[in-house]
Amino acid sequence: MLFGTSLRSDGTAGSPFQGPGLWARVAPFAIVAVLAEASLALPSGHESGGAVLASVLLLLAAAAGFLLPWSRLPLWMQVLVPLTYTGSVLALDLAAGSTSGVGIVILIPLVWTALFHRRWESVCVVAAIVAVEIIISLTPVAAPDAVIARRAVFWASLGALISVAAHGLRERIRRSQQRSEQLQSRLRELTVLADRDRIAAELRDNVVQRIFTAGLRLQSAASQTPRGNVRGKIEASVDELDQTVRMLRDAIFGLEQRPTERGLRQEITDVCAQLSPAPEISFSGPVDALGAATRAQLVDMLTEALGPVRTNAVAARIDIAAEGESCRAVIEAGPGQAPGAAGPDGTEATEALRGEDFGRVRDRGAAAGIRVDVEAIPDGLRVAWQIPRGSPVAAPRS
């Protein structure tokens, strides 16, 4: 009930006259307002028909305020609705007389603003209530000055007390809700992390060890087998198992890495996300432990080196290894498609990559004092460079 107001598209507080739970908020106040108007029919009677009509019209105007398009109106206009009802209570009190006891309903707009409006709006309503009490004290028979002052002081104190208490309660409830949401979010995160750690431990202790043991057995069998097709197949299987172990270790590292951490692996994966065909990426060593300057230099040079790969739509294999005091990056790129085939932009594909295609990454490396080696391999070109784990001078972006 305390937080049923709607929100605007920009995230600011919306109107308390709209949104979920509206009828639950309005019903108690509406019932008291209607009963106050109906109380004029009691034997004490009313003294002024004009005041009764004014009270009813102002009450209807306050009710009509709920139908306004508040999402398109300034927020400050919201205080006009409780102020309108305060005027209705003034007319009601003038109609029934200052001794009729109906003046207690002046608390309705005060409680409403304390529950659903901002503090400065409650201040406006408190000031209006004090003005109402002064007007009632002066008509139709003027009360002594001491009585007027006492009413003004007491009603101002009561209004301030209710407003401060209600706004403080709302603030404590809001902080409690935020704290509860934070604790629930942290609990979900800890649960996910516990599951990730458990899966990583099972993969490391069971799956990886078994594959590694099977690879050793096959390697031992290959050494006892004469050279030929059988031995070649066994050695190929050993290589496949070795590659599988590397992939599993990468997956385990990804599971053990916390979701809030953005390491070098994630940055390189993002750089390669737009390449087609998708490259094969492998990591070895503590690549995520590299310094910020080294990581930035590596990502910049890798992005530059992958430009020709992206342009020619060739298959590529990327190896990133952190060893000792340096980090080594190797890209092996092949033609990826038959000579003369159509490339991704509809033009004829190049027959193969050329060493000149990597001139820009060579220039970027030279500006930072890093040597970039480009050599031919049976399936294409091999581009490699090694970055010290210190802080190389970053080359300016082209």
pLDDT score of 84: 92
pLDDT score of 192: 77
384 beta partners: 330, 373
Q: Counting runs of H as helices and runs of E as strands, what totals does the chain give?
A: 11, 5
**Separation in Å, CA 196 to CA 97, 253, 255, 266:** 73, 10, 6, 17
User: 152 phi and psi, to 5 degrees?
Assistant: -65, -45
Q: What is the pLDDT of residues 51-95, one digit of tens each?
A: 888 888 998 999 998 888 888 888 888 889 999 988 988 888 888
CA distance 306 to 313: 10
Q: Which residue has the higher pLDDT, 361 or 9?
A: 361
Q: Work out whether the CA dihedral 126, 128, 132, 134 comes out positive or negative.
A: positive
Nearest to 116 by CA among 30, 6, 33, 28: 6
The phi-psi region of residue 183 (left if phi > 0; otherwise alpha if psi is between -120 and 50; otherwise beta) is: alpha
Least confident range of 120-134, 157-171, 283-297, 332-346: 332-346
CA distance 14 to 22: 13
Nearest to 201 by CA among 161, 124, 256, 142: 256
Nearest to 378 by CA among 340, 341, 332, 322: 332
DSSP 369: T
Which residues lie closer than 8 Å to 369 by C-beta, 6 or more apart? 392, 393
User: 389 phi and psi, to 5 degrees?
Assistant: -80, 10
Tell how far CA 387 is from the center of its chain: 36
CA distance 349 to 308: 12
CA distance 329 to 315: 17
| Residues 317-340, mean pLDDT to the nearest whole number | 73
Q: Which CATH class is domain 262-398?
A: alpha beta
Q: Where are the alpha helices (DSSP H) in 7-106?
A: 22-38, 49-64, 80-96
CA distance 56 to 46: 13
282 beta partners: 319
| Residues 361-389, mean pLDDT to the nearest whole number | 85
Q: Inform me whether the pLDDT recorded for 152 exceeds 70.
A: no
Task: Report yes or no: 130 and 152 within 8 Å, Cβ to Cβ.
Answer: yes
Q: What is the pLDDT of residues 263-321, one digit of tens each?
A: 777 788 788 877 777 777 777 777 777 778 888 888 888 888 888 888 877 778 888 88
Q: Which residue has the higher pLDDT, 161 or 392?
A: 161
Which residues lie closer than 8 Å to 214 by C-beta, 6 or more apart? 241
Ordered by start, the domain boundaries in the chain are: 262-398
Q: What is the pLDDT of residues 198-255, one digit of tens each?
A: 777 777 777 777 887 887 788 788 878 787 788 888 888 888 877 777 777 666 666 6
Question: What is the full DSSP assignment across 224-277?
Answer: TS-SSHHHHHHHHHHHHHHHHHHHHHHHHHHHHS-TT---HHHHHHHHHTT-SS
Q: Inform me whether the pLDDT recorded for 393 exceeds 70.
A: no
Mean pLDDT estimate for the chain: 75
CA distance 146 to 368: 87
Which helix (H) or strand (E) element contains residue 319?
A: strand 316-323
CA distance 360 to 49: 91
pLDDT score of 351: 47
209-223 core/surface letters (b: 16 or more CB in 10 A; e: else)? eeeeeebeebeeebe
Task: Report yes or no: 121 and 176 within 8 Å, Cβ to Cβ.
Answer: no
Tokens of 366: 């030279």
User: 98 phi and psi, to 5 degrees?
Assistant: -70, -15
CA distance 381 to 372: 13
Least confident range of 159-168, 220-229, 359-368: 159-168
pLDDT score of 109: 86
Q: Inform me whether the pLDDT recorded for 383 exceeds 60.
A: yes
pLDDT score of 144: 61
pTM of the model: 0.41
pLDDT score of 142: 57
Task: Report yes or no: 41 and 93 within 8 Å, Cβ to Cβ.
Answer: no
